[in-house]
């Protein structure tokens, strides 16, 4: 018997090119796809209800004889059919109908209908029910199993999907769709056999637990989710193994250089910084490529940790590349590193996309010539950038870069046969459930301590109607020597529009607050302009900085202690947390005002309340995940890898420990089952490591 994964949907009765096209839109190309296309929910059509027992809002199957069929010419023309059974009467009402339909409703004929009962003009009615004429000889029985409702698409009816699924089910056997979970794994985690699970999900018996099915927690569904999550884990493990098979330069620790660096810092490291730095130092000393993610809340001091890692490579005479997601942040790193490394006799080069002409040629030549420290934006990925002896790549604020980009940069250093070590730093705490799936290829360090002397930011949520008050507060704060951010947001996708919004707000504030030195910063400005404005703000020459979310990441001005965020309801929690992290860096008590546009949706209100209640990045990240789902939290670039067919990371999170364990068992035994599982669940091009 042919494997169902190889049988195209066109092999089914009644599937031509046009229908196949519609199925393709749902990602359904083979019979296996059809079987893994699970119902969204179910209807209970297994019992025929007597008409006399119906009540409004009930979903019911009824069967009866047509008494009459008439056209009603009311405000809206409708077709009204009276039915009766032994227990009472009921009407069907259609607002859309064909003449042929009208002709088929002959008095005396029997109909079986399914729909929601409502109270209408003629008493209880079913609006536009699904119905079928019942011929005289037909048995009385209703459906034998619960009726599945599938995710559908335009031009593809439920009835059609059910028919196709029925055909696929008829060909479903243990041979045509083999169970890829080895017996011991199935036993250990008490998983249903695949074929049984699929039959159950497509045709649940009348006594099935509908609630459990709808919630996706039924064992049949969990069985499939388990397998899909397992495939995902295996794919990450395989990537990891491929990486571990590569060689890297072992970089011995260099205590002297590090001691000199720390002495110049002006503060001592926090315990968390010391611990994480030691973890990194250990990795770097191995001849295997390090792949480490450092998670640390905003302001935890990740830059110093990055510098410590860099020094270990630099001391051994190798190059280090540090990449940041925005030019402003890269610029800031460049300043910090120059300040830290120059006294140690180490040069720092700079490369960004906007660097053109001679300056660019010079930077490329420096990099190819082996300048020790290279800092830049993703321009560092470009083909013409050639490193002389790159041994460590540091990526700041990882959530902005996808897995694929991470892999691309790794390949850059791999030219000489050696793979560079990689250090990834993120301020967006990644909820544990996600970290286990999206980042299973990384080791993780957590910077769970803020440098001393910080005061938590106090957050206020105010309606836009109180803008005048807020502006007065801004005036008073500036006059008492504080510095302030005023952040303008618009729809995230439109950088263009939010620049305009910032420009407008800037002119307004300049007019209202003539006594203040106000600056404007947005993404459309030239790099030199941006740098000049940032500098002026840092040096205290500007009191108020009106900006777009370009300041979201990494900007560090300790004296800024008030931030106004306009339209915070449009931003995700993680982003708000990032923005707010720009203040509260000095010893002065800091305040953040979330100036929203009423009315707020219920979710909007909940989100702003979370911001008011906590400054803990991990709590915020968990809430964000709950409210928005993993795709949103990780950013669009990564959703590709996190789109599951059956599994749901939030709902199925409790399965993850078992899934990981199973993956490890499978790999340990070199199970031949490994690749078929990947083949089945993970679409080509979405696999990690196949760039
Ligand atoms: P983030 O983790 O958000 O990248 P930064 O590296 O920008 O944080 O650090 C935030 C600020 O804290 C910087 O001004 C930095 O110099 C300072 N800082 C870092 N570590 C310490 C420390 N151990 N003690 C005092 N200040 C520190
Ligand atoms: Mg940072």
DSSP string covering 116-184: EEEEETTEEEEES-EEEEE-TT------SSPEEE----TT--HHHHHHHHHHHHHT--TTTS---S-HH
Which of 304, 553, 578, 583 to mutate for ligand 1's pocket (most ligand atoms within 8 Å of CB)? 304
pLDDT at 612: 95
Which of 316, 321, 204, 303 shows the shortest CA–CA distance to 249?
316
pLDDT at 638: 40
Q: Assess whether pLDDT exceeds 90 at residue 30.
A: yes
What residue ranges do the domains of the chain occupy?
Answer: 9-42+152-208, 47-142, 255-447, 457-614
Question: Domain 255-447 adopts which CATH fold?
Answer: Rossmann fold (3.40.50)
What's the token pair of residue 225?
């989710």
pLDDT at 642: 55
Span 405-415, average pLDDT: 62
> How many angstroms is it from 293 CA to the middle of ligand 2?
13
> How many angstroms is it from 581 CA to the middle of ligand 1?
12
Span 633-659, average pLDDT: 68
Q: Residue 587's pLDDT band (boundaries 50, 70, 90)?
A: confident
Under the phi-then-psi rule, with left for phi > 0, alpha for psi from -120 to 50, and beta for the rest, what region is 653?
alpha
Percent of the chain predicted with pLDDT > 90: 48
Span 331-339, average pLDDT: 91
Which residues, listed in sequence order, are joined to residue 83 by a DSSP beta bridge? 66, 90
Return the residue whose CA atom lies nearest to atom 17 of ligand 1.
301
pLDDT at 691: 31
Cβ contact 433:649 at 8 Å: yes
Span 83-89, average pLDDT: 93
Span 666-684, average pLDDT: 73
Q: Assess whether pLDDT exceeds 90 at residue 679.
A: no
Question: Domain 47-142 adopts which CATH fold?
Answer: OB fold (Dihydrolipoamide Acetyltransferase, E2P) (2.40.50)
Q: Is the CB of 270 under 6 A from ligand 1?
A: yes
Q: Assess whether pLDDT exceeds 60 at residue 673.
A: no
What's the token pair of residue 101?
């339909």
Q: Is the CB of 427 under 6 A from ligand 1?
A: yes
Which residues, listed in sequence order, are joined to residue 63 by a DSSP beta bridge? 112
> How many angstroms is it from 616 CA to the middle of ligand 2?
16
Span 77-88, average pLDDT: 92
Q: Is the CB of 586 under 6 A from ligand 1?
A: no
> How many angstroms is it from 273 CA to the middle of ligand 1?
10
What's the token pair of residue 401?
């870069």
Q: Is the CB of 296 under 6 A from ligand 1?
A: yes
Q: Residue 75's pLDDT band (boundaries 50, 70, 90)?
A: confident
pLDDT at 328: 78
Span 410-417, average pLDDT: 63
How many Å apart are CA 641 and CA 437, to the nearest integer? Answer: 10
Q: Assess whether pLDDT exceeds 70 at residue 688.
A: no
Q: Assess whether pLDDT exceeds 70 at residue 405.
A: no
pLDDT greater at residue 315 or residue 418: 315
Q: Assess whether pLDDT exceeds 50 at residue 593.
A: yes
> How many angstroms is it from 329 CA to the middle of ligand 1?
14
What are the b/e assignments for 565-598, b being 16+ CB within 10 Å?
Answer: bbbbbbbbbbbbbbbbbbbbbbebebbbbbbbee
Q: Residue 84's pLDDT band (boundaries 50, 70, 90)?
A: very high
> How many angstroms is it from 294 CA to the middle of ligand 1?
14
Q: Assess whether pLDDT exceeds 90 at residue 572.
A: no
Q: Which of 292-296, 322-326, 610-614, 644-648 has the highest mean pLDDT?
A: 610-614
Q: How crowded is residue 77: how many other Cβ atoms within 10 Å of its Cβ? A: 12
Please tell me if the domain spanning 255-447 has the same topology as the one spanning 457-614. yes
Q: Residue 267's pLDDT band (boundaries 50, 70, 90)?
A: very high
Cβ contact 588:561 at 8 Å: yes
Q: Is the CB of 95 under 6 A from ligand 1?
A: no
Q: Assess whether pLDDT exceeds 60 at residue 14.
A: yes
pLDDT greater at residue 274 or residue 587: 274
> How many angstroms is it from 260 CA to the middle of ligand 1?
18
Span 260-275, average pLDDT: 95
pLDDT at 469: 95
User: For 564-577, what is the HEC assignment?
Assistant: EEECHHHCCHHHHH
Q: Is the CB of 182 under 6 A from ligand 1?
A: no
pLDDT at 384: 86
Q: Residue 636's pLDDT band (boundaries 50, 70, 90)?
A: very low
Sheet of 421-426: strand order equals 348-351, 373-376, 319-323, 390-396, 421-426, 291-296, 443-447
Cβ contact 208:658 at 8 Å: no
pLDDT greater at residue 121 or residue 251: 251
For the question of whether the overall pTM of this predicted structure is more than 0.75, the answer is no
What's the token pair of residue 196?
């049984």
Model confidence pLDDT, tens digit, residues 503-514 = 999 999 999 999
Q: How crowded is residue 466: how many other Cβ atoms within 10 Å of its Cβ? A: 13
Which of 451, 551, 561, 583 to mutate for ligand 1's pocket (most ligand atoms within 8 Å of CB)? 451
pLDDT at 394: 94
Q: How crowded is residue 25: how many other Cβ atoms within 10 Å of its Cβ? A: 12
Which ligand 1 atom is the nearest neighbour of the CA of 453? 25
> How many angstroms is it from 303 CA to the middle of ligand 1?
7
Return the residue whose CA atom lies nearest to atom 20 of ligand 1.
301
User: Which residues have a beta carbon within 5 Å of ligand 2, which is an ion?
Assistant: 302, 554
Q: Assess whether pLDDT exceeds 80 at residue 441.
A: no
From the CA of 553, the nearest ligand is 2
Sequence-distant (≥ 6) Cβ neighbours of residue 28 within 8 angstroms: 9, 34, 37
Using a 10 angstrom Cβ sphere, with 0-12 exposed, 13-18 middle and 19 or more buried, the burial of residue 383 is: exposed
Which ligand 1 atom is the nearest neighbour of the CA of 302? 2
Q: Residue 403's pLDDT band (boundaries 50, 70, 90)?
A: low
Return the residue whose CA atom lies nearest to atom 23 of ligand 1.
269
Return the residue whose CA atom lies nearest to atom 25 of ligand 1.
451
Count of residues for the chain? 691
How many Å apart are CA 305 and CA 281, to the nearest integer? Answer: 10
Q: Residue 644's pLDDT band (boundaries 50, 70, 90)?
A: confident
Question: Domain 457-614 adopts which CATH fold?
Answer: Rossmann fold (3.40.50)
> How many angstroms is it from 646 CA to the middle of ligand 2?
37
Return the residue whose CA atom lies nearest to atom 5 of ligand 1.
301
pLDDT at 433: 60
Model confidence pLDDT, tens digit, residues 477-493 = 999 999 999 999 865 45
Write the DSSP string, 430-475.
PPHHHHHHHTTTSEEEEE--PPTT--PPEEEEEEGGGHHHHHHHHH
Q: Residue 140's pLDDT band (boundaries 50, 70, 90)?
A: low
> How many angstroms is it from 271 CA to the middle of ligand 1?
13
Summary mean pLDDT of the chain: 86
Q: Assess whether pLDDT exceeds 80 at residue 670.
A: no
How many Å apart are CA 666 and CA 658, to the nearest integer? Answer: 12
How many Å apart are CA 361 and CA 503, to the nearest integer? Answer: 34
Which strand (E) or helix (H) includes residue 111?
strand 110-120
Q: Assess whether pLDDT exceeds 60 at residue 672.
A: no
């Amino acid at each position: 018997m042919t494997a169902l994964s190889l049988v195209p949907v066109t092999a089914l009765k009644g599937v031509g090119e046009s229908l196949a096209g519609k199925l393709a839109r749902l990602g359904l190309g083979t019979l296996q796809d059809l079987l893994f296309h699970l119902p969204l929910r179910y209807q209970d059509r297994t019992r025929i209800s007597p008409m006399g027992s119906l009540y409004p809002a009930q979903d019911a199957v009824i069967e009866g004889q047509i008494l009459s069929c008439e056209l009603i010419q009311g405000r809206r023309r409708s077709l009204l059919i009276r039915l009766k059974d032994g227990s009472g009467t009921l009407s069907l009402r259609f607002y859309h109908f064909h003449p042929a339909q009208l002709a088929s409703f002959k008095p005396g004929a029997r109909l079986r209908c399914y729909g929601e009962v409502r109270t209408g003009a003629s008493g209880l009615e079913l609006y536009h029910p699904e119905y079928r004429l019942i011929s005289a000889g037909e048995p009385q029985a209703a459906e034998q199993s619960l009726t599945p409702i599938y995710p559908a698409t335009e031009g593809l009816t439920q009835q059609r999907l059910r028919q196709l699924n029925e055909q696929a089910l008829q060909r479903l056997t243990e041979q045509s769709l083999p169970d890829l979970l080895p017996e011991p794994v199935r036993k250990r985690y008490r998983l249903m056999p695949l074929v049984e699970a699929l039959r159950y999900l497509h045709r649940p018996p009348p006594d099935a637990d509908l609630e459990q099915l709808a919630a996706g927690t039924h064992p049949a569904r969990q069985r499939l989710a388990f397998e899909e999550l397992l495939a995902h884990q295996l794919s990450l493990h395989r990537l990891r193994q491929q990486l571990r098979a590569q060689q890297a330069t072992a970089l011995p620790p260099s205590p002297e250089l590090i001691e000199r660096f720390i002495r110049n810092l002006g503060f001592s490291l926090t315990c968390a910084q010391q611990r994480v730095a030691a973890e990194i130092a250990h990795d770097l000393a191995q001849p295997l490529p390090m792949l480490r993610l450092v998670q640390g809340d905003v302001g935890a001091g990740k830059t110093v940790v990055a510098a410590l890692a860099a020094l270990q490579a630099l001391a051994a005479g190798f190059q280090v590349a540090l990449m940041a997601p925005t030019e402003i942040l890269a610029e800031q790193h460049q300043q910090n590193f120059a300040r830290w490394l120059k006294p140690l006799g180490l040069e720092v080069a700079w490369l960004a996309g906007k660097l053109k002409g001679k300056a660019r040629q010079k930077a490329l030549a420096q990099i190819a010539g082996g300048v020790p420290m290279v800092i830049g934006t993703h321009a560092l990925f470009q083909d013409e950038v050639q490193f002389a002896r790159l041994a460590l790549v540091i990526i700041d604020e990882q959530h902005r870069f996808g897995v694929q980009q991470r892999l691309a940069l790794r390949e850059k250093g791999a030219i000489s046969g050696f793979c560079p070590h990689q250090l990834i730093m993120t301020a967006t705490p990644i909820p544990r459930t996600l970290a286990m799936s999206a980042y299973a290829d990384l080791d993780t360090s957590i910077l769970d301590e803020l440098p001393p002397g910080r005061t938590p930011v106090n957050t206020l949520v105010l309606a836009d109607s109180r803008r005048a008050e807020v502006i007065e507060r801004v005036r008073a704060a500036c006059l008492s020597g504080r510095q302030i951010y005023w952040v303008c947001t618009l729809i995230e996708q439109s950088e263009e529009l939010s620049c305009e919004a910032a420009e407008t707000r800037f002119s307004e504030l300049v007019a209202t607050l003539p006594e203040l030195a106000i600056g404007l910063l947005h993404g459309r400005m030239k790099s030199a302009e941006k740098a000049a404005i940032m500098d002026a703000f840092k040096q205290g020459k500007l009191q108020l900085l009106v900006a777009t979310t370009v300041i979201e990441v990494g900007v560090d001005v300790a004296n800024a202690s008030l931030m106004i965020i306009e339209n915070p309801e449009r931003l995700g929690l993680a982003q708000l947390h990032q923005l707010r992290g720009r203040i509260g860096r000095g010893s002065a008590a800091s305040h953040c005002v979330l100036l929203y546009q009423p009315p707020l949706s219920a979710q909007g209100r909940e989100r702003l309340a979370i911001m008011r209640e906590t400054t803990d990045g991990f709590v915020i990240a968990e809430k964000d995940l709950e409210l928005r789902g993993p795709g949103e939290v990780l950013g669009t670039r990564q959703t590709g890898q996190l789109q599951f067919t059956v599994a749901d990371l939030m709902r199925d999170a409790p399965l993850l420990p078992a899934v990981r364990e199973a993956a490890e068992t499978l790999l340990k035994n070199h199970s031949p089952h490994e690749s078929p599982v990947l083949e089945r669940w993970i679409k080509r091009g979405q696999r990690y490591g196949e760039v």
